[in-house]
Structure 1
């Protein structure tokens, strides 16, 4: 059997291409399979460390192959090796922000602008294990605190900028604008009451189809001429949200308030 010339002369390149493209492909399949219910989200995430390991090994091998070729004065056959190298680098670059969030942000999944009085869900249901696995149980500085107190302490330390805002518009107007913004984001709105100043919705991620529940609360200020807005975003599953809920709250409040906002202490 005669093999293609590129395969005969570049087995190393084919190896790098196979694993370089294969690792991100397996990750996408694992995530998409979880998203459509072929297997649980835990199984989908379990594939991640293995695909990262394969990608790192692939990157190391590619560098070694290139270095050996140069040392021996041999020509590097770039088409397949380059493909695998680019796929590997792209995959690892895609994962860098998530890895950084994993090690720099606390393992919490419930983010709100009001730690003392978080907005409460009326239509949606707060997950039953919401206060389980809150970090700090073994921290000497938080000794004696219950899970909710530890959550508030950790939350404040990680996200001091997330707090209530005041908008110079009546409650009903603010909630109507919030509804339009939620629709623009593709959130599934489950309840909205402009007169009561409340909106509840669910955001679904693209690959794993993770669902995060959001509640927006608007309270009248200055005899109804302004509103104090609070937002709460909670992941339905998992312990660490990798900063996704905080990012969502920040962006939503920024879009909702525009230039008419002042921070509310």
Structure 2
């Protein structure tokens, strides 16, 4: 009899919890908007990456996911305030989960917004601003020097796009420089090939004797293509090499620092972080 009573009590408790959840439209609304924003964000990116729609279309959707998350947060905050004012007990399970997802997603978006605000809108990064490594097998994008910021900046008056690019590049990434490796050119290029393949890059061209390698990296859910060229020049009668690298996004204006991070990490692995003196 006691067991039957306990079982009935458990069923009643569970039923009460489910009924409580059903009576929480505010919590459901916040949760649905939050989850929908996250799914839409990554779905838009993945759809662009797999060719279901253009990458520009995918990118154009992303700001609306942030707006949706903000709306969800506002609904949650207003709902909590109204509950307090009317002396109602806030139902937390759904509202709390939705709010946590919303805050996490907004923090994720804020990190990208911070990067956009603090780094220049450039997409071509190199260790040698005066004489960047040149592509031969992979074509440099035709609009590479278009849309370089600073045309209306008084500090850059009289500069052409390439000069503005070099100025912005130097200010944002002063640490990205040539590196010296105490190995012959051909050995360094072979090592670079192995590192590129380990990273999943598609090697387009390699000439160890000439100290030249080109490859393509595919990144993010959008599956953006970034082209890389590595140049090795002999030093100390051929016993050492001076390595330069260049990484260029095929599309877009702002690379969110991705090319700089790629150059840093690759050269660090390749060389042991020995900076070449100029």
Same fold (TM over 0.5): yes
Match of 1:91 in 2: 105
Instruction: Tell me whether 1:255 sits opposite 2:269 in the alignment.
Output: yes
Q: Which residue of 2 aligns with 1:45?
A: 59
Instruction: From the two aligned structures, give the one with the greater helix fraction.
Output: 2
Which piece of structure 1 moves more, 8-17 or 56-65? 56-65
Distance 2:208 2:67 in 1: 50
Q: How does 1:149-228 map to 2 (within 5 A)?
A: 149-228=163-242
RMSD of aligned Cα (Å):
1.4
Q: CA-to-partner distance for each residue in 1:144-173, whole Å, 9 max, x for gaps?
A: 211111111111111111111111111111
Cα distance between partner residues in 2 of 1:6 and 1:226: 72
Q: How many residues align?
A: 261
For 1:127, the equivalent position in structure 2 comes to 141
Work out which of the two has the higher radius of gyration on C-alpha atoms and give 1 or 2.
Answer: 2
What displacement does 1:6 show? Answer: 4.1
Q: Give the TM-score taking structure 2 as reference length.
A: 0.90
Q: Name the counterpart of 2:256.
A: 242
Q: Aligned residue for 1:55?
A: 69
CA drift of 1:70 comes to 3.6
Alignment of 1:81-120 (within 5 A): 81-120=95-134
Tell me by how many angstroms 1:9 deviates: 1.6
Query: Secondary structure of the residue that 1:232 maps to in structure 2?
Result: strand
Unaligned 5+ segments in structure 2 are 1-17
How far off its partner does 1:221 sit?
A: 0.5
Query: Which structure 1 segments of 5+ residues have no match?
Result: none
Residue 211 (structure 1) shift: 0.7
8 A contact 1:228–1:264 mirrored in 2: no
Q: Would you identify which runs of 4 or more consecutive aligned residues in structure 1 move more than 6 Å?
A: none
How far is the alpha carbon of 1:79 from its aligned partner? 2.3
Cα offsets for 1:81-129 (capped at 9, x unmatched): 2221222122122222211111111111000000000000010000000
Report the alpha carbon displacement of residue 66 of structure 1 after superposing the two structures with TM.
Answer: 2.6
Corresponding residue number in structure 2 for 1:12:
26
Distance 2:20 2:61 in 1: 31
1:17 is displaced (CA, Å) by 0.5
What secondary structure does 2:139 align onto? coil
Alpha carbons 2:46, 2:221 under 8 Å: kept: yes
